Amino acid sequence: MTANEPLVLALPKGRILDELRPVLDGVGIVPEPAFDDPSSRLLKFDTNVPNLSIIRVRSFDVATFVAFGAAHLGIAGNDVLMEFDYPEIYAPVDLNIGYCRIAVAEPAELVAGDDPSRWSHIRVATKYPNITRKHFARRGVQAECIKLNGAMELAPGMGLCRRIVDLVSSGRTLKENGLVEVETVAEVTSRLIVNRAALKTRSEEVGGWVSRFQEAAHRAA
């Protein structure tokens, strides 16, 4: 990470990009046309800002690229930030987009006879083992976590576990797979994140972008 290299902004792939575009417009960042081309396999894009490029990676990887200095700034859900808890990352701006929640869910047939306050040990499938363990440890519950990266809803029906901890937006996927939310672990929104070292060594540039994103988030609120 040198002072004269272009700044890199890491953005997550997926549906969140639809909510991100007005934010980018609000701070004056316009990606090259290939960014909006669904047939393009490019992962790095130029922008209208001469010294700024964009990379598009998986949501969990945004935090890693920023933490290790491969990207100077990024946009990530606070679910990712809580799971990895990188000390190298500073998250100064809540963009108030990407609203969802991390929730505990179980098969509908379990709900009537279940009382989460009486749990002492549970086995769950999740892509958030650190968040899950910390959440239940605060209540004195031992959580055995089975790490999955997708298709979490299959786990109870396949006998892998009885419960899952997953990211939930509308709840439709849970319902269609016979699952019911029984507990909210955390509310989630997308945040602007920055590499702490970059903020110190390139404070004018990086700090300037932090201010722009703060202003855009305030206008949109």
In this structure, the answer to whether residues 183 and 197 fall within a common structural domain is no
State mean pLDDT over 100-128. 95
- Regarding predicted confidence, which is higher, 108 or 1? 108
Residue 2: predicted pLDDT: 62
Looking at the structure, tell me whether residues 86 and 73 fall in a common domain: yes
Rounded distance between C-alpha atoms, residue 95 and residue 193, angstroms: 10
Burial (Cβ within 10 Å: 0-12, 13-18, ≥19) of residue 171: middle
pLDDT for position 67: 98
**What is the rounded CA–CA span in Å between residue 202 and residue 197?**
8
Average confidence (pLDDT) over 7-18? 94
**What is the span of the domain harbouring residue 203?**
7-98+189-220
For 16-36, what is the mean pLDDT? Answer: 95
Q: How many CB atoms lie within 10 A of CB 220?
A: 12
The two structure tokens encoding residue 96: 């108030």
Q: Establish if 111 belongs to a structural domain.
A: yes
Taken in order 80, 85, 91, 93, is the CA torsion positive or negative? positive
Asked whether residue 173 falls in the same domain as residue 198, the answer is no
Asked if the structure places residue 78 within a domain, the reply is yes
Residue 172 lies in a domain: yes
Angle between the 16-27 and 203-220 helix axes, to the nearest 10 degrees? 110
| Ramachandran region, residue 154 (left: φ > 0; alpha: ψ -120 to 50; beta: rest) | alpha
- Supply the pLDDT for residue 3: 64
**Percent of the residues in the chain that have a pLDDT greater than 70, as a whole number:** 99
Percent above pLDDT 90 for the chain: 91
pLDDT band per the 50, 70, 90 thresholds, residue 166: very high
